Amino acid sequence: MKRKLQNFSLHQVYILGNFILIAHETILMALSRRVDGAIKHRIKLKPIVLHAKTYCFEVKNRHFTISNK
């Protein structure tokens, strides 16, 4: 289950397992979390736009959907 962390004007941030997901209007970024909150990897993903500000993408064979409502 996805958990919303914060609301922003341009994007929303979710935490999903070991990933922090940021849904931008044009791109999606998946930031893999590490101990002490240090971010070691940043992956830019091309989103599949299902409808306005809703994105569907895959990270490491796991399928996620983010809705920016």
Share of the chain above pLDDT 70, in %: 0
Task: Report, as an integer, the average pLDDT of 21-39.
Answer: 44
HSE (CB half, 13 Å, CA atoms) of 21?
Answer: 26
Q: What pLDDT digit, counting tens, does each position of 42-69 carry?
A: 444 444 443 444 445 444 555 555 554 4
- Structural domains in the chain (count): 1
Yes or no: say if 27 and 41 are a contact pair by the CB < 8 Å rule: no
- Does position 10 have pLDDT exceeding 50, yes or no? no
Task: Give pLDDT, residue 63.
Answer: 56
Residues 18/33, Cβ–Cβ less than 8 Å: yes
Residue 18, domain extent: 3-67
Reported pTM: 0.24
